Chain A
Amino acid sequence: MKQKSKKSTKKSTEERRRTLVELLKNKGTEIYEELDKGNFPSFSVPSRSVSNIVYDKQLRQYILGSNVSLRSSRNMSQLRSFTQLMWLAFFANRLVNEKKSSTLRDIYYSSQAFEVDFEDQPESDNIIVDLEAVLRRPREDLHIFPEERSSVFGDLVIEYTVPGYEGKRSNLSDHPDGYLIGPSLSSAELVETSAELVIAIEKGGLFTRFVEEKVHKKFKAIIVDTAGQAPRSTRNLLRRLHDEMGLPVVILTDGDVYGEHIAMVIKSGSANAAHLRELTVPDAKWLGVWASDIEKYKLPTIPMTESDIKRINDLLKDPRYQEGNWKKQLEIFKKIKRKAELEAFSKYGLTHITDKYLPEKLELAKSL
């Protein structure tokens, strides 16, 4: 049974909360003092424009460059968004202090009670990203979660920190549908696990199949349903499972360019979250379905669309796809112009994927 390493340099949930509260207070005090001195306060917001997003080879993820833009309350065109940012910090501070959770949509609606008007939800979403960039903390730390939920299943004991459940533990194999990766799970401490592996899978249907086929037992695995492109909370959980519990992470996706990129985002992050760390699992491995598997396993395929091809060409320019298997698979996709779904294995029987494909790929992964 693996336990969380006591020596872990990673901050525990409580520690993260404490430093965040301090950070928020410092920011608030800064603004307060400027106002009191008769100055127009301002925020330095790291620029999230395309020109300021660079790939860091050492960190193996996209990061923001050094460009910052000043958002000043003196500037008429920035005053509104400055106030919005200020309000969000204020509201997040309440959430964190009162250990309450909110969602992106909830934030948008809550603003109205404070005379801080957002045009629409995309505007408030955007301010949330700004605050993440200012604080260099993911919105989950601020207790703000997306609506879409992905799930996790497996022998993992967690201890809740959310009010009313403090200290209460759960084993994530207790419920066969899996556990939603929501605010309370995201903020829970990871206590112990017997698993030796994390399998992230793109589709809910196969996630259920895996549970039914007891993949968690057969392979001593924790199964995570990413539900398409993995949400940030899911990516954060994967990273914590890797970092805090020392578990290797493997990824199963459809056999197409989007599947390959889902794996890449879990491994090295997205441009959208270039301002954040701790959302990536640089050691994660993409098991498949590779382009080369299509031929190898004689999978039924469908032709690619034009947008699929365009996406391949775009990604071929991405610095992360310049070498190794990532590059190789893209090129094969480009050559065969066909794609296969995970479900394609059903052609050879419903359990073919767990009985045959998975073990072979896991074996192969050891050498990657």
Chain B
Amino acid sequence: MSSNDSFIQISPSEFFYKNRDLAGFSNPSRSLYTAVREFVENALDACDQHGILPDVHLTIKAVEPEKPDPKPYILTVKDNGPGIDSKYVPLAFGTVLYGSKFGLKQARGMFGLGATMAILYGQITTNKPVTVKSSTDGKTQDEYELLLDIQKNKPVILKHETKEISKTGLSVSICLEGDYSKAGAKIRDYVYQTSLITPYATVTFDDPKGEKFRYTKIVRTMPPAPTILNPHPYGVDVETIKRMVEDSKFSIPTVDNKTIEKVRTELGLKKKDLNYSEIMSRAKKRWSSLSRYVRVVIAVMSFLKMDFDKLSKIRIDDLDISSEKISYWDFGESKSFTIDMDPESDYYRQLTNTTQGEMLVIFLTKRFQRVGRTTAEKFAEFAGFKPEKRIGTMTNQELVKLSDALQKFPTFLSPDPKCLAPLGAEPLEKGMKAFFNPDFISVVQRGASAYSGFPFVVEMGIAYGGEIPSGGTKVYRFANRIPLLYDEGSDVVLKVVNETDWARYKIKGDPPLVIVSHICSTKIPYKTVGKENVADRPEIERELRLALQFLSRKLASYMSKRGQAEMEKKRANLYLKYIPLVAQFCTELSGKKKEPDYKKILKEAVPVETKI
């Protein structure tokens, strides 16, 4: 590399613009489908998170219907969610990487990136702005027209209007180059299957050909929302640990009114003002009862030599333990000061400990899920660390050793599934009933399990007969409430279904059978970037297999009962048909006028419920 080469920093917008294939915007057909998915999923996620039963309306209209595909389409997705605060709208829809979906819990999309990508794609292909209408209070609605400045990664507001409205919600409308003749079937499938796995939502779709698809909600209760949890030891790598260690170091207290209030409370000086030395001696007396947070503030105060009143007039800018200096900004004098700390002081040691981070055992119990004191101590022994080892003092090598040990320690409890949001057996059953109207249905929700530290739950339903057409087993696959539509061949669910010996369960030929499989996890192990098939992790495969076996046994018992009932009915029909004939014939043969009373034997031969 010559010294003339210059490094150019590109904005995230530019990066995505150059790599839009990665995000699913490679051609007009795929892009239309991806855009639909991104907006619909965002709408559903927003409603889910706020406990609102979603009403999502999708419209695709051709700008010039007569033109052949590919051509510009207007894609609008409207929901009844919480809306987005007016001041965030330009940032949320006019920049890349502005999202609200961080943290360990299950959600459909990850960071809300896809929607911005769709907007970006629309802008690139049609040079039209995105129209966003949002209302958070159900009274006023803000309408924006935005363009994205790709180089600067900044929104350009073309129009902003406010008007009165009666409902909360968000409506996003973009114009993009698409190919509905190719993508239509896929989009319709997507809408259909999405409403199957979201029976608590109403989803409608008005397609460019004038067809209207309506899926109204089947249940009116929402599955419980997932909670955000600490990571599980199995699920973290060295980089994550490093970030967590940084976090564990006690941060410099912001000395604001709230902090001062807290210190005063713990020292019992809520109403009383003392001078600096009085405060210090009082603190010394009460030291053992003080919280760590307050101890740190007192330590800082000991070097600043300030009382509460003075303290409230400064802002601490830096606290450098290694060079023993504290810098602060004095509001009163509008000036920056730096003072030295005495390294021999007990207060200095207090600050040192703090910056060395938590002890290993504390670090483990506090920052990971499902790790208790005993487990943490056992782990320390297993990993070859002292339990009280300060996490902040670990070298890079030690951190790698810690990370390896976390992966290998055999007795961590399995991950907590509270961060997952399965649909639940009952709504799944109701949804399947409404969609397929089968003769038989059974659903199961397996207990939570984990693969490589990521918790997952498998839900499955099986439906047979009724309005389901014959022609073989149809499998609907879902992951985190998203339908997986294509690339079935290599999917783990399909593998498990295909390896089932159906004859064992009294299922033959091309049965009218539907299987719905839903895998929920904080991280779905997709096989490909396309996110259409799930890899065959042994833990997931096992859960799927157990779920399917459970359901198949139920189906088999239904099938054998059905067989018996059919036999019984056939039997009853035989008697009902022939005994009256026998009676008729023997009456004439014997020369009698009245038929014999054969009701008695019919009563015996025909069970009551089969009598027609």
Could you tell me which A residues sit within 8 Å of B by CB distance? Answer: 24-25, 27-29, 31-33, 35-36, 38-41, 73-74, 76, 79-80, 82-83, 86-87, 89-90, 93-94, 114-116
User: Which B residues are CB-close (under 8 A) to A74?
Assistant: 605
Q: Which of B73-81, B335-343, B551-559, B583-591 contacts A (4 or more CB under 8 A)?
A: B583-591
Determine if A83 and B583 form an interchain contact, defined as CB atoms under 8 angstroms apart: no
**With the chains together, A80 CA to B581 CA distance in Å?**
10
Task: Tell me the residues in window 586-601 of chain B with beta carbons closer than 8 Å to chain A beta carbons.
Answer: 586-592, 596-598, 600-601
Judge whether B88 is part of the interface by a CB distance below 8 angstroms.
no
User: Which B residues are CB-close (under 8 A) to A80?
Assistant: 574, 578
**With the chains together, A90 CA to B592 CA distance in Å?**
13
User: Which A residues are CB-close (under 8 A) to B574?
Assistant: 76, 79-80
Q: Could you tell me the distance in whole angstroms from the C-beta of A148 to the nearest C-beta in chain B?
A: 29
Task: Tell me the residues in window 567-589 of chain B with beta carbons closer than 8 Å to chain A beta carbons.
Answer: 571, 574-575, 577-579, 581-583, 585-589
**With the chains together, A231 CA to B167 CA distance in Å?**
95
Determine if A79 and B578 form an interchain contact, defined as CB atoms under 8 angstroms apart: yes
Residue from A25, A27, A29, A31 in contact with B582 in the complex, judged by beta carbons closer than 8 Å: A31
Residue from B571, B578, B586, B605 in contact with A32 in the complex, judged by beta carbons closer than 8 Å: B586
Residue from B588, B598, B605 in contact with A35 in the complex, judged by beta carbons closer than 8 Å: B598
Given A87-B581, A94-B588, 8 other A-B residues pairs in contact with their CB atoms under 8 A = A25-B590, A28-B587, A32-B589, A38-B604, A39-B601, A79-B574, A79-B578, A86-B586
User: Which A residues are CB-close (under 8 A) to B583?
Assistant: 35
**With the chains together, A171 CA to B596 CA distance in Å?**
49
Contacts A38-B601, A76-B571; A25 near B589 (Cβ below 8 A): yes
Q: Could you tell me the distance in whole angstroms from the C-beta of A354 to the nearest C-beta in chain B?
A: 51
Determine if A93 and B589 form an interchain contact, defined as CB atoms under 8 angstroms apart: yes
Interface centre among B574, B579, B586, B591 (most CB of A within 10 A): B586
Contacts A35-B596, A76-B571; A86 near B585 (Cβ below 8 A): yes
In the complex, which residue of chain B has the Cβ closest to the Cβ of A87? B585
Q: Could you tell me the distance in whole angstroms from the C-beta of B36 to the nearest C-beta in chain A?
A: 58
Determine if B601 and A35 form an interchain contact, defined as CB atoms under 8 angstroms apart: yes
Determine if B588 and A90 form an interchain contact, defined as CB atoms under 8 angstroms apart: yes
Determine if B590 and A32 form an interchain contact, defined as CB atoms under 8 angstroms apart: yes
User: Which B residues are CB-close (under 8 A) to A33?
Assistant: 596
Contacts A/B (CB < 8 Å), 26 sampled = A25-B589, A28-B585, A28-B586, A28-B591, A29-B586, A29-B591, A32-B586, A32-B590, A32-B596, A35-B579, A36-B597, A39-B601, A40-B601, A41-B582, A41-B586, A73-B579, A79-B574, A82-B582, A83-B578, A83-B581, A83-B582, A87-B585, A89-B585, A89-B589, A93-B588, A93-B589
In the complex, which residue of chain A has the Cβ closest to the Cβ of B575? A79
In the complex, which residue of chain B has the Cβ closest to the Cβ of A91? B585
Chain A binding surface, main DSSP class: helix
Task: Tell me the residues in window 237-291 of chain B with beta carbons closer than 8 Å to chain A beta carbons.
Answer: none
Residue from A29, A79, A82 in contact with B590 in the complex, judged by beta carbons closer than 8 Å: A29
Residue from B575, B587, B588, B589 in contact with A27 in the complex, judged by beta carbons closer than 8 Å: B589
Determine if B582 and A28 form an interchain contact, defined as CB atoms under 8 angstroms apart: no
- The 4 A-B pairs at the shortest CB distance, nearest first, are namely A28-B589, A38-B600, A90-B585, A28-B590
In the complex, which residue of chain A has the Cβ closest to the Cβ of B588? A90
Determine if B581 and A115 form an interchain contact, defined as CB atoms under 8 angstroms apart: yes
Q: Could you tell me the distance in whole angstroms from the C-beta of A140 to the nearest C-beta in chain B?
A: 20
Determine if B590 and A86 form an interchain contact, defined as CB atoms under 8 angstroms apart: no
Q: Could you tell me the distance in whole angstroms from the C-beta of A78 to the nearest C-beta in chain B?
A: 10
Q: Could you tell me the distance in whole angstroms from the C-beta of A260 to the nearest C-beta in chain B?
A: 43
User: Which B residues are CB-close (under 8 A) to A79?
Assistant: 574-575, 578
Q: How many A-B residue pairs have CB under 8 A?
A: 83
**With the chains together, A27 CA to B590 CA distance in Å?**
8
User: Which A residues are CB-close (under 8 A) to B571?
Assistant: 76
Q: Could you tell me the distance in whole angstroms from the C-beta of A130 to the nearest C-beta in chain B?
A: 15
**With the chains together, A197 CA to B590 CA distance in Å?**
44
Q: Could you tell me the distance in whole angstroms from the C-beta of B584 to the nearest C-beta in chain A?
A: 8
Contacts A25-B591, A32-B592; A114 near B581 (Cβ below 8 A): yes
**With the chains together, A69 CA to B74 CA distance in Å?**
82
User: Which A residues are CB-close (under 8 A) to B586?
Assistant: 28-29, 31-32, 35, 41, 86, 90
Determine if B578 and A73 form an interchain contact, defined as CB atoms under 8 angstroms apart: yes
**With the chains together, A89 CA to B582 CA distance in Å?**
11
**With the chains together, A89 CA to B584 CA distance in Å?**
12
User: Which B residues are CB-close (under 8 A) to A82?
Assistant: 578, 582
**With the chains together, A35 CA to B583 CA distance in Å?**
7
User: Which A residues are CB-close (under 8 A) to B592?
Assistant: 29, 32
**With the chains together, A109 CA to B222 CA distance in Å?**
66
Interface centre among A25, A32, A40, A93 (most CB of B within 10 A): A32
**With the chains together, A38 CA to B585 CA distance in Å?**
17
User: Which A residues are CB-close (under 8 A) to B588?
Assistant: 28, 90, 93-94
**With the chains together, A36 CA to B31 CA distance in Å?**
79
User: Which B residues are CB-close (under 8 A) to A40?
Assistant: 601
In the complex, which residue of chain A has the Cβ closest to the Cβ of B587? A32
Q: Could you tell me the distance in whole angstroms from the C-beta of B564 to the nearest C-beta in chain A?
A: 14
Q: Could you tell me the distance in whole angstroms from the C-beta of A142 to the nearest C-beta in chain B?
A: 13
In the complex, which residue of chain B has the Cβ closest to the Cβ of A33? B596
**With the chains together, A83 CA to B581 CA distance in Å?**
7
Determine if A31 and B589 form an interchain contact, defined as CB atoms under 8 angstroms apart: yes
User: Which A residues are CB-close (under 8 A) to B590?
Assistant: 25, 28-29, 31-32
Contacts A73-B578, A76-B571, A79-B578; A24 near B600 (Cβ below 8 A): no
Q: Could you tell me the distance in whole angstroms from the C-beta of B43 to the nearest C-beta in chain A?
A: 60
**With the chains together, A272 CA to B333 CA distance in Å?**
131
**With the chains together, A83 CA to B577 CA distance in Å?**
10
Q: Could you tell me the distance in whole angstroms from the C-beta of B598 to the nearest C-beta in chain A?
A: 5
In the complex, which residue of chain A has the Cβ closest to the Cβ of B599? A38
Determine if B589 and A90 form an interchain contact, defined as CB atoms under 8 angstroms apart: yes
User: Which B residues are CB-close (under 8 A) to A27?
Assistant: 589
Determine if A73 and B585 form an interchain contact, defined as CB atoms under 8 angstroms apart: no
**With the chains together, A73 CA to B590 CA distance in Å?**
18
Contacts A25-B591, A32-B587, A93-B589; A86 near B600 (Cβ below 8 A): no
Q: Could you tell me the distance in whole angstroms from the C-beta of B583 to the nearest C-beta in chain A?
A: 6
Q: Residues 599-612 of chain B: 1 if any A CB is under 8 Å from the residue's CB, otherwise 0? A: 01100110000000
In the complex, which residue of chain B has the Cβ closest to the Cβ of A35? B596
Q: Could you tell me the distance in whole angstroms from the C-beta of A280 to the nearest C-beta in chain B?
A: 30
**With the chains together, A94 CA to B585 CA distance in Å?**
11
Interface centre among A83, A87, A94 (most CB of B within 10 A): A83
Interface centre among B575, B589, B597, B604 (most CB of A within 10 A): B589
User: Which A residues are CB-close (under 8 A) to B604?
Assistant: 38
**With the chains together, A216 CA to B604 CA distance in Å?**
66
Interface centre among A29, A31, A33, A114 (most CB of B within 10 A): A31
**With the chains together, A31 CA to B604 CA distance in Å?**
18
User: Which B residues are CB-close (under 8 A) to A25?
Assistant: 589-591
Q: Could you tell me the distance in whole angstroms from the C-beta of B580 to the nearest C-beta in chain A?
A: 10
Residue from B582, B598, B605 in contact with A86 in the complex, judged by beta carbons closer than 8 Å: B582
**With the chains together, A242 CA to B574 CA distance in Å?**
48
Q: Could you tell me the distance in whole angstroms from the C-beta of A75 to the nearest C-beta in chain B?
A: 10
Interface centre among A28, A80, A89, A94 (most CB of B within 10 A): A28
**With the chains together, A31 CA to B592 CA distance in Å?**
12
Contacts A25-B589, A28-B590, A28-B591; A36 near B596 (Cβ below 8 A): yes
**With the chains together, A114 CA to B587 CA distance in Å?**
15
Determine if A73 and B582 form an interchain contact, defined as CB atoms under 8 angstroms apart: yes
Q: Could you tell me the distance in whole angstroms from the C-beta of B257 to the nearest C-beta in chain A?
A: 91
In the complex, which residue of chain B has the Cβ closest to the Cβ of A29? B590
User: Which A residues are CB-close (under 8 A) to B581?
Assistant: 83, 86-87, 114-116
**With the chains together, A80 CA to B571 CA distance in Å?**
11
Q: Could you tell me the distance in whole angstroms from the C-beta of B366 to the nearest C-beta in chain A?
A: 73
Q: Could you tell me the distance in whole angstroms from the C-beta of A251 to the nearest C-beta in chain B?
A: 40
Determine if A35 and B591 form an interchain contact, defined as CB atoms under 8 angstroms apart: no
